[in-house]
């Protein structure tokens, strides 16, 4: 993934105030963690974990990260650091 484009998408999606509001409402927020990482906040757990895909559940939306050699550099109850060669990041509306 072209990280310059990705950084613009993330910066355009949330201002610092919007990020805090989103987290308080229970939504997942993401931020670039350098050239080969993604910082995830506000997740509600892992739903898929492999070297080519990592998915997190959230409120109304799930987050799916695809790539090669993916692994979790850090994981806590609400935060994670995904590392590896990122190819795509998807927010998908959960089906009711």
CATH of 3-93, one of 2.60.40.2000, 2.40.50.100, 2.130.10.10, 3.65.10.10: 2.60.40.2000
Residue-level pLDDT at 9: 46
With a CB cutoff of 8 Å and minimum separation 6, the contacts of 72 are: 49, 54, 80, 81, 82, 83
Give residue-wise pLDDT tens across range 3-57.
554 454 444 455 556 777 777 777 888 888 877 789 999 899 999 999 999 999 9
For the ranges 60-64, 70-74, 75-79, the maximum mean pLDDT occurs at: 70-74
Enumerate the domain spans of the chain: 3-93
């Amino acid at each position: 993934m072209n990280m310059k484009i990705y950084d613009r998408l993330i910066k355009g999606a949330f201002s610092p105030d919007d990020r805090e509001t989103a987290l308080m409402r229970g939504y997942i927020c993401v931020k670039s963690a350098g050239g080969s990482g993604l910082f995830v906040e506000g997740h509600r757990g892992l739903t898929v974990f492999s070297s080519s895909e990592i998915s997190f559940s959230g409120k109304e939306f799930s987050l799916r990260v695809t790539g090669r050699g993916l692994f979790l550099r850090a994981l806590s109850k609400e935060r994670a650091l995904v590392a590896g060669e990122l190819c795509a990041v998807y927010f998908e509306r959960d089906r009711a």
